[in-house]
Structure 1
Amino acid sequence: MTVQELTDFTPAYPVLLELRPNLGSLEDFLAQAKQQQAHGYRMIAAYDDGEVAAVAGFRAGLCFAWGHHVYVDDLVTAPSARRRGHGAALLEWIDAEARRIGAEQVHLDSGTHRHDAHRRYLASGFAISSFHFTKKTPEV
């Protein structure tokens, strides 16, 4: 298994679609990815026998609550590649990158129903530190 940063996000699309089924077409995905990259979004992939087995998208940030941090936006393993250490490898890579850029913390949110993912995050040293609240903005 190897982990490497992607400059072309095309190979990640089928795997990321597992987590984000609302991505739309490949062209829509790549257009949005380009916009997100302009705001510091980066993506890595874990490869197994030359195929993308898992992907993670993340960005560095600075805020009063967390200081200099890395936020993991997306983290998913293809169903056929689960429970083989790909998620752990991606999180280890992100930890190393966070240290390299001087980030003090790594953060992520996870859907309440993703119990297998929660076990991975807890095993990787994450703690459940808060609830994340969301609402849609009112119609204008």
Structure 2
Amino acid sequence: MSIATTIIRITERAALIKSFEIMKELRTDLTLESYLELYEVMEQEGYELYALYNDREIQALAGVAIKTNFYNKKHLWVYDLVTSSASRSSGYGKELMLFLSDYASENNCVYIALESGLQRLDAHRFYEGKFAFEKFCYSFRKSL
């Protein structure tokens, strides 16, 4: 991995638009229009989007929010974590997770929590193997 990597919170529209190319690899149902509309609402609800840059190009993204509830107490919720398909296995996901761990600790979070689709076995190995995440529940939803 190049020493030129930096992690920056995306706050400008141009960077947000550029980030869509990577985010759509994870969230395949999004269009640029729906991405921008949802982001605006999510940001008002505390969502922050971080980009890992290498040589001025976004290589990976992490979308997070600090939340509090009865079962996770104060925690960092990871909504999105994706590395560009061309850059997978380059250590960028690990670098982002280490950044998020520091960020959560600095903000007095008790946990980092996330959901991962049942079919994402490689992601599960990443979370469990490299970062000692524990599976502790199922998540359910119902279409309305």
Counterpart residue identity of residue 15, structure 1: I
Give the CA deviation at 1:28.
2.8
Q: Secondary structure at the match of 2:109?
A: coil
1:132 alignment counterpart: 139
What are the ranges of 5 or more consecutive residues in structure 2 without an aligned counterpart?
Answer: none
1:97 alignment counterpart: 103
Counterpart residue identity of residue 7, structure 1: T
2:7 alignment counterpart: 3
Give the CA deviation at 1:125.
2.1
Separation of aligned partners in 1, 2:140 and 2:34: 27
Separation of aligned partners in 1, 2:143 and 2:35: 22
Separation of aligned partners in 1, 2:34 and 2:118: 27
Superposition pairs for residues 1-140 of structure 1, below 5 Å?
Answer: 1-8=5-12, 9-24=16-31, 26-122=32-128, 123-137=130-144
What are the ranges of 5 or more consecutive residues in structure 1 without an aligned counterpart?
Answer: none
Q: Secondary structure at the match of 2:29?
A: helix
Give the CA deviation at 1:44.
0.6
Percent of aligned pairs with the same residue?
Answer: 31
Give the CA deviation at 1:75.
0.7
Separation of aligned partners in 1, 2:93 and 2:110: 21
Separation of aligned partners in 2, 1:42 and 1:11: 16
The number of equivalent residue pairs is 136
Structure 1 outlier segments of 4+, above 3 Å: none
Separation of aligned partners in 2, 1:115 and 1:48: 27
Separation of aligned partners in 1, 2:29 and 2:46: 22
Q: Secondary structure at the match of 2:96?
A: helix
Q: Deviations over 1:84-118 (max 9, x none)?
A: 11111111111111111111111000011112111
Separation of aligned partners in 1, 2:94 and 2:8: 14
Give the CA deviation at 1:27.
3.2
Q: TM-score, normalised by structure 1?
A: 0.91
Q: CA RMSD in A?
A: 1.1
